[in-house]
Chain A
């Protein structure tokens, strides 16, 4: 970097830092065009907005581009989500594009070796395999798909192929949140927004560590404290974390203790008569699971029946089940019984990766509904997401095996018909049978065809299942040696998944393409392509369209609409088709805009209304439902179901759950009986294993492991151990040990009383490190409704290397 430019950027950095300092309290509302003018101006340097590529918080960054390369990142002061702040990962996000080992050419495995091939050949190979056996093809994506990418994949599979075997990795991270919302409100996604963090008196983190996983959101609360406000943070967790360090109260629970605790709070609200009788009478029903074949609908139960069922969950019984002392359960009961304070609950993987995931999500919603801590700013049950578009792409576009866009499902004939009409497809094009969920999809892919494994070709985009699936030996590694199973992986870097890939497609990443994300607070965000991808890396959305067009050329009927036109046809102003399936023409038009405008027609069907694409170009995201006003402007919604803010609530109702599963405008307060985890420590495997993430790395580390500052700060996975457990086993700090479960082993260095501090009998291992795959040990047991596996609890033993029978 030349000295003039270096000096300039230095002064720009000082200006940016100075504005944060002098600004004092950050603005509570910002205009879309605010802040940009404060960024440095330099010949050849341009700035543009984009949401961060990492977690589901949805921070906006300003991306500085010079000579076709991202050279600077600044927090976007115009963004309401982060108000100019970024976390340690966010301010390094530009570097994810420039790892030395970017994939730049399609690679085909021939006789065990990867050889470079041309794109045309790669697309033809995929199309032929699908054409020959369309029903044994599956598509696996993620919450990192942009909204248009996920929508195109969804339309290609369910509309074009009539094949519902499409599922995202979000199945592994927030499917239980979806089923919890559906069971309670009849419609998915949080009612509140991040403003709840600015207004709550009490923040309860349920098995959640936002201090590391959502640091910008957590800083909204700690920043309030630094300004002298009192915010009580109650951390309910199975191990001490950085969130516990900031908490007023730390309640250490046993695995599955959250279920008992929520039942205990409801018991106290009922017993003490401190529940919100008026709110419950006007706006809630009681619900229980059916005795035979439980469903998400459940069955209606009376308040009396609810009282009877909850009666046994006394503080003492809950203490026995959860490990949290009875007086702490009473403390929680008293807090929820106090309507003068405002309480926000936050959760993420702890409650979602849970074999009772749907139940615990529903129960925590129930605690808030029963107590009336709902629908006022600061009173909210709120789930967070780990991926940038788990909400936007997975939950809203509906890229799950049972779903269609707009909250439609494949199992309902009227939903299929609506969708076919929107897509101008022949009646009957969409298959009525839900496809395979993630665990089932990989079981069917890794099982020999002769034994019933009926998925033979699997296309993976924007995710790394070779590292994230539970029980990796069974669900992924067993693909090795199965010659008729063909794995296609679109990726930006080599990963654990590409190691077994038969065909690797180099993908464009983040600002190398246009995109749209949807964050955890229903905020839809947009950005434009800013730099060219390296080599021959290309957009994932283009790959899907190119494969679809190849099938169209081959005569696949599903790739034609009712008029015989290509299902992704885009025409110019003169009515001529733009050949977007040819990459050199892909950016002749804004494909994202065309797809989004088509997709947003679905969004009104569940009151998740989206604005036109151009409105998102102007804004730092808008929270749906976004409704047009009389003056033509578009208004976002911060608090759903509350009359003061939600335009769909009937005037005079105060609250209205207008997608109620009981069709009466009411939410459901569920009762679920506590059940122990499916695998518990025993004599052979005496320790609990919990897995998770760390501040410095994002998920499997594919991106953050390429960022030297982050990788140096956290270069390796480790096993956190309690010092007493380590002492009893004669294990020293830093010693390498073997973690062994009934499914596999993993060798790791020991960190005693490190960043996280597990209680006796528990170990914790992060999953970001591709050289230490802890998911060889985890369990594929999953929630019966959401099908989401439980990565937070299984039984293991810790062996000194000298004691291990199985070499790692």
Chain B
């Protein structure tokens, strides 16, 4: 996560992050903070992503790594041979 200024200036937002059970907080440096989201569904993953994006002071989210379940991929295409 990248904040608009030093992470320490966004204590309220960091507290909100701590209230999300699927989210772990890692190291911070300057205006950047490492987090990991571990959810049971992609829907929840998306909800958290959207919520975190909208928290006060958050200017950017970048992904460092993603791992997924075997059954995580669904086919939503409506195309047919």
User: Cβ of A496: which chain B residues have Cβ within 8 Å of it?
Assistant: 79
User: Cβ of B75: which chain A residues have Cβ within 8 Å of it?
Assistant: 99-101, 706
User: Cβ of A706: which chain B residues have Cβ within 8 Å of it?
Assistant: 73-77
Q: Is B9 an interface residue (CB 8 A)?
A: no
Partner of B79, one of A20, A71, A91, A495: A495
User: Cβ of A71: which chain B residues have Cβ within 8 Å of it?
Assistant: 67-68, 70
User: Cβ of B46: which chain A residues have Cβ within 8 Å of it?
Assistant: 709, 712-713
**Complex: A705 Cα to B80 Cα, angstroms:** 13
| A10–B63 touching, CB < 8 Å | no
Give per-residue flags for B8-22: 1 if the beta carbon is below 8 A from chain A beta carbons, else 0: 000000000000000
User: Residue on B with the closest CB to A711?
Assistant: B76
**Complex: A219 Cα to B32 Cα, angstroms:** 15
Partner of B68, one of A94, A493, A504: A94
Q: How far is the CB of A368 from chain B (nearest CB, A)?
A: 31
| B81–A13 touching, CB < 8 Å | no
Give per-residue flags for B42-81: 1 if the beta carbon is below 8 A from chain A beta carbons, else 0: 1101100000000000011011111111101111111111
| A95–B64 touching, CB < 8 Å | no
| A84–B64 touching, CB < 8 Å | yes
Q: Is A452 an interface residue (CB 8 A)?
A: no
User: Residue on B with the closest CB to A19?
Assistant: B64
| B76–A715 touching, CB < 8 Å | yes
| A770–B63 touching, CB < 8 Å | no
**Complex: A75 Cα to B75 Cα, angstroms:** 25
Partner of A73, one of B66, B70, B81: B66
User: Cβ of A91: which chain B residues have Cβ within 8 Å of it?
Assistant: 63, 65-66
| B79–A64 touching, CB < 8 Å | no
Give per-residue flags for A678-706: 1 if the beta carbon is below 8 A from chain B beta carbons, else 0: 00000000000000000000000110011
Give per-residue flags for B21-50: 1 if the beta carbon is below 8 A from chain A beta carbons, else 0: 000101111111111101000110110000
Q: Is A427 an interface residue (CB 8 A)?
A: no
**Complex: A85 Cα to B66 Cα, angstroms:** 12
| B29–A24 touching, CB < 8 Å | yes
User: Residue on B with the closest CB to A496?
Assistant: B79
Partner of B72, one of A24, A88, A708: A708
| A705–B38 touching, CB < 8 Å | no
Q: How far is the CB of B39 from chain A (nearest CB, A)?
A: 11
**Complex: A91 Cα to B64 Cα, angstroms:** 8
Q: How far is the CB of B22 from chain A (nearest CB, A)?
A: 10
User: Cβ of A498: which chain B residues have Cβ within 8 Å of it?
Assistant: 79, 81
Partner of B65, one of A17, A24, A69, A771: A17
Give per-residue flags for A3-47: 1 if the beta carbon is below 8 A from chain B beta carbons, else 0: 000100110111011111110100000000000000000000000
| A708–B42 touching, CB < 8 Å | yes
User: Cβ of B33: which chain A residues have Cβ within 8 Å of it?
Assistant: 21
Give per-residue flags for A704-732: 1 if the beta carbon is below 8 A from chain B beta carbons, else 0: 01111101110100000000000000000
With contact pairs A16-B64, A712-B46 given, residues A21 and B77 touching in the complex (Cβ less than 8 Å): no
Q: How far is the CB of A422 from chain B (nearest CB, A)?
A: 40
User: Cβ of A583: which chain B residues have Cβ within 8 Å of it?
Assistant: none
Partner of A20, one of B24, B62, B78: B62
Partner of A771, one of B34, B45, B64, B78: B78
With contact pairs A21-B32, A24-B30 given, residues A74 and B74 touching in the complex (Cβ less than 8 Å): no
| B81–A107 touching, CB < 8 Å | yes
User: Residue on B with the closest CB to A701?
Assistant: B77
| B79–A95 touching, CB < 8 Å | no
| A705–B67 touching, CB < 8 Å | no
Q: How far is the CB of B43 from chain A (nearest CB, A)?
A: 7
Q: How far is the CB of B41 from chain A (nearest CB, A)?
A: 10
User: Cβ of B45: which chain A residues have Cβ within 8 Å of it?
Assistant: 709
User: Cβ of A712: which chain B residues have Cβ within 8 Å of it?
Assistant: 42-43, 46, 76
Q: Is A653 an interface residue (CB 8 A)?
A: no
Chain B: interface residue total (CB-CB under 8 A): 39
With contact pairs A13-B36, A18-B27 given, residues A64 and B76 touching in the complex (Cβ less than 8 Å): no
Q: Is A226 an interface residue (CB 8 A)?
A: yes
Which residue of B62, B65, B66 has the most chain A CB atoms within 10 A of its CB atom?
Answer: B65
| B81–A114 touching, CB < 8 Å | yes
| B34–A92 touching, CB < 8 Å | no
Q: Is A534 an interface residue (CB 8 A)?
A: no
User: Residue on A with the closest CB to B4?
Assistant: A226
User: Residue on B with the closest CB to A11?
Assistant: B36
Q: How far is the CB of A490 from chain B (nearest CB, A)?
A: 13
Chain A: interface residue total (CB-CB under 8 A): 59
Q: For residues 490 through 505 of chain A, which have their beta carbon under 8 Å from a beta carbon of chain B?
A: 493-496, 498-499, 501, 504
With contact pairs A18-B27, A709-B42 given, residues A1 and B34 touching in the complex (Cβ less than 8 Å): no
Partner of A72, one of B42, B66, B79: B66
Give per-residue flags for A85-107: 1 if the beta carbon is below 8 A from chain B beta carbons, else 0: 11010011011001111000001
| A17–B36 touching, CB < 8 Å | yes
Q: How far is the CB of A180 from chain B (nearest CB, A)?
A: 33
Partner of A75, one of B34, B38, B64, B78: B64
| B81–A75 touching, CB < 8 Å | no
User: Residue on A with the closest CB to B66?
Assistant: A91
**Complex: A24 Cα to B27 Cα, angstroms:** 12
User: Cβ of A715: which chain B residues have Cβ within 8 Å of it?
Assistant: 76
| B69–A1 touching, CB < 8 Å | yes
Q: How far is the CB of B64 from chain A (nearest CB, A)?
A: 4
User: Residue on B with the closest CB to A5?
Assistant: B67
With contact pairs A75-B64, A708-B42 given, residues A494 and B79 touching in the complex (Cβ less than 8 Å): yes
Which residue of A98, A107, A114 has the most chain B CB atoms within 10 A of its CB atom?
Answer: A98
User: Cβ of A493: which chain B residues have Cβ within 8 Å of it?
Assistant: 77, 79
Q: How far is the CB of A114 from chain B (nearest CB, A)?
A: 5
Give per-residue flags for A600-644: 1 if the beta carbon is below 8 A from chain B beta carbons, else 0: 000000000000000000000000000000000000000000000
| A21–B27 touching, CB < 8 Å | yes
**Complex: A99 Cα to B65 Cα, angstroms:** 21
| B67–A72 touching, CB < 8 Å | yes
| A499–B81 touching, CB < 8 Å | yes
Q: How far is the CB of B19 from chain A (nearest CB, A)?
A: 19
User: Residue on A with the closest CB to B81?
Assistant: A494
Q: How far is the CB of B77 from chain A (nearest CB, A)?
A: 5
| A86–B63 touching, CB < 8 Å | yes
User: Cβ of A88: which chain B residues have Cβ within 8 Å of it?
Assistant: 63
| A95–B34 touching, CB < 8 Å | no
User: Residue on A with the closest CB to B45?
Assistant: A709
| A708–B26 touching, CB < 8 Å | no
**Complex: A88 Cα to B33 Cα, angstroms:** 19
User: Cβ of B38: which chain A residues have Cβ within 8 Å of it?
Assistant: 6, 10
Contacts A/B (CB < 8 Å), 23 sampled: A12-B65, A12-B67, A13-B65, A13-B66, A18-B27, A21-B33, A24-B29, A24-B30, A72-B65, A72-B68, A73-B65, A75-B65, A99-B77, A100-B73, A100-B75, A493-B77, A495-B79, A496-B79, A702-B77, A707-B73, A712-B43, A713-B46, A715-B76
10 new A-B contacts at CB < 8 Å, known A20-B32, A771-B78: A18-B26, A20-B34, A21-B32, A22-B27, A84-B64, A493-B79, A499-B79, A501-B81, A709-B45, A770-B78
What are the 5 closest A-B residue pairs judged by CB atoms, nearest first? A17-B34, A100-B75, A16-B64, A16-B65, A72-B67
